[in-house]
Structure 1
């Protein structure tokens, strides 16, 4: 049976490219598609998990749905910091693999696993400590604060599993294997459905032709949604870790190799991760501020906002999948010294992302009532959620530029300027405009502000992509570090 890392068409095209073999335009496009599709499926599956939680909890009532929406921006902050911590090591791993330095790649992966796990323990403990006070700080009403606190507490306790899942996935993907972790993320969605069904709702009796079937249920409500997702994350993280350490042909642990902490690797990880972490903190702070702007608009607006954000993420997750693939591709190609090829592939990745997300934006506009309707039967929530989704759908192509170009830049360790772009556009455009429009136009005004900001951000990233400063700096660093 072929291993997921074996030289299949998906992997061999990238390997041939990093070895200096010429590939036609068609072969390069095929490589991008084959590596992107599994990553897209993985990103969609993670969003489907949020969609599942929202849909299942939404059937309990608007208050329960709003309680998850209230702390959603805070969980995004933790997810973002988790991603930043893992990126500091997975980007270097891809670059070393592209350069053929496999022993160094394995050592970087070992350092990353240890340090990110320690980081996740600290962050999980911090999240648990602030969970009782967080909903009130976010402006939540008393009727939803208790459920919101329980949801965030359980999320924080499972955060080490979230971090391990993300870090190991990034390591495996850095070796060019998108398929195996993507498959497991789909499995994680299935587990989430099963666990949620058992944990959210109370048990019931189902009448069948051959008798009565008792379906077990814990009836934990919002807390059950958090617990179900956490258990699914934990199981998949364990499987991924086993594969990385025991089965991955490129990165599995060798008996004669011991992980050594190398100051150069740690400095590079900090240089890559810190701008991303600061960006995630500032952007999540912006999302929290965004929630604070929406919260006074009422429970219906808060629930509609939460559902619309979850639904819209189904639209842009393909862009994030392409971005993940582009980071691995550009990292390996640039690590092999093929700088002009990396620049060309980066533009191809962004073009593909724009096309995919333009299609997704069209579907989002057309299917908005049905998408919101799955998560809530409340007519007011459905109407408001549909309106704001249709406003934002027009921004998807330019949002794709920002998402995928960010992944391209990250492949060469260029994280500072993109982080500044993300921070400045949200804090200087989205939030002031949202605060200005919320009073007169309510939630639709807030989402118009989001749409305008995403378009501006896309323009900033596109201008940088079309230049060569992002690849030139990596080329200069590679020349400086090359043996004389």
Structure 2
């Protein structure tokens, strides 16, 4: 692994030093940065699958209680990502320009600023947790579990924020391996903790020997506790590595101020606020989708939640490649290399479209098995399979929008993509979903989503080709 990291560092040094790169070197560097990022994203999805499968085994109401608030948890999750990215993109630019001291200065300021932000967000989440299920139109039978799940999630948002910040900083410095391994480790921890927290004590028999397997029997809230405990442990590990061992960004033995300065904050706001708005737009639309789906019944809510989780197996590789695109484009922008920026942008976007297109084919064929892993309830399985097979056709264009967005973030161009997402989701997806749901039910909601994702991918490809996002070079 160390040899691989040295090769990656050597190729990244070519960007900073202004040296030419062959197409083979560009492809190799893209793959070396993308592969660990994709693994990290997939491990995150595996963790969601495990949560869904474990809770799904408890019945439809337990599944629906998590599904009801899942879009709101993604909203808060996205705001934490935006907060971290506002600083990590600055670090990528400074590393690309060879200003390592400046990169560490931004890192110190980001630790304080994002921690304060996440504490405020946690307070907001806990304050609304009691009323949230009713606001979302969920059945009264799932209000208690849904509220408790969201409250636990909100309480530990600072740990999630530090996880995102440390991982993002390491990735922008070119270190994809450590965040990737941390993601896998978090998945394993989540499995183990959920195993003991979700289910009650039960008797097992192995090779004729019976024994009691201990368990807390906390159900949906146990899934939340297992996940946040894993997040706390991994956040501590990542922060320690970043602080003491990162070749580029370690702070140990170095003096510096942690108070956020106006310059870094303004840049973080300029990058992060459009991203935050974009997450609000997307998650707000997902919440509205939940409101549209909620009257269709508990089975529809659970199936919609499972299908969204299952589909993420396809699109998370796109987010991994988008992370690599942000790093590559960010360092190229910092180094002032316009032609190389264009090359990496196109390589990453087309790679993402190819991989997610292939994943879409697999999702179509194996939809029954995928949904079957999450729930034993036949009505939920049928609805979930239908949703996945509709969505499979949109995966290549969805990839185009995901990875192109990562490119634009690396260029600190986030406002226009935010507006594009706003128009696409609210004008196309929600209007079509509201139109089709009364007659087609959950099928109509997912047809609307498929059409919108294809439209969104098209407009992102057009913006990528016009290259106005490279105005900073």
Q: Which interval holds the TM-score relative to the shorter structure?
A: over 0.9
Superposition pairs of residues 21-420 of structure 1, within 5 angstroms: 21-209=19-207, 211-259=209-257, 261-420=260-419
Give the equivalent residue in structure 2 for 1:479. none
The TM-score with structure 2 as length reference comes to 0.98
* Secondary structure at 1:204 match in 2: strand
> Alpha-carbon deviation of 1:208?
2.8
Aligned twin of 1:433: 432
Unaligned runs of 5+ in 2: none
In 2, Cα distance between equivalents of 1:193 and 1:256? 38
Taking the aligned partners of 1:366 and 1:7, their CA distance within structure 2 comes to: 37
* Number of matched pairs: 472
* Two-structure CA RMSD over aligned residues (Å): 1.2
| Kept in 1: contact 2:5–2:175 (CA 8 A) | no
> Deviations for 1:305-357, whole angstroms, at most 9, x for unmatched residues?
00000000111000000001110111011101111110111011000000000
The answer to whether the 8 Å contact 1:18/1:338 transfers is no
In 2, distance between residues paired with 1:209 and 1:395? 48
Mapped partners of 1:317, 1:251: distance in 2: 27
Higher mean Cα deviation, 43-52 or 230-239?
Answer: 43-52
Separation in structure 1 between the aligned mates of residue 296 and residue 2 of structure 2, nearest angstrom: 55
Q: State the alpha-carbon separation in 1 of the partners of residues 206 and 79 from structure 2.
A: 48
Do the aligned partners of 1:71 and 1:135 also contact (CA within 8 Å) in 2? yes
Report the equivalent of 1:478: none
3-state DSSP class of the match of 1:8? helix
User: By how many angstroms is 1:17 displaced?
Assistant: 2.6
SS state at 2:29 partner: helix
Q: Any idea what SS the aligned residue of 1:206 has? A: strand
Distance 1:228 1:261 in 2: 33
Deviates more, 1:395-404 or 1:8-17: 8-17
SS in 1 for 2:98: coil
| 1:264 shift after superposition | 1.7
Cα distance in 1 for partners of 2:6, 2:23 equals 19
Quote the Cα distance in structure 2 between the aligned partners of 1:222 and 1:244. 33
Shift of 1:213: 2.8
State the Cα distance separating 1:216 from its structure 2 match. 1.1
Q: Normalised by the size of structure 1, how large is the TM-score?
A: 0.96
Quick one: distance in 2 between partners of 1:319 and 1:411?
A: 15
Name the residue aligned to 1:13: 11
Q: Tell me the distance in 1 between the aligned counterparts of 2:317 and 2:91.
A: 24
Residue 10 of structure 1: how far off its partner (Å): 2.1
- The CA deviation at 1:210 is 6.9
- Gap runs ≥5 in structure 1: 476-484
Q: What stretches of structure 1 move > 6 A for 4+ residues in a row?
A: none
Conserved 8 A contact 1:124-1:156: yes
Give, in angstroms, the shift of residue 18 of structure 1: 2.4
**Residue-by-residue CA offset, 1:388-441 (whole Å, 9 max, x unaligned):** 110010000000000000000100100000111111100000001000000000
Deviation digits for residues 33-84 of structure 1 (CA, Å, limit 9, x no counterpart): 1100100111111121111111100000011001100000000000110000
The 8 Å contact of residues 149 and 220 in structure 2, kept in 1 or not, is answered as yes
1:198-247 deviations in Å (ceiling 9; x for gaps)? 00001122223373332110000000000000000000000000000111
**134-143 or 15-24: which moved more?**
15-24
Question: Structure 1 stretch 281-290 or stretch 31-40: which is displaced more?
Answer: 281-290
- Alignment correspondent of 1:453: 452
Alpha-carbon distance between aligned partners in 1 of 2:453 and 2:386, rounded to the nearest angstrom = 18
Distance in 1, Cα, partners of 2:449 & 2:56: 24
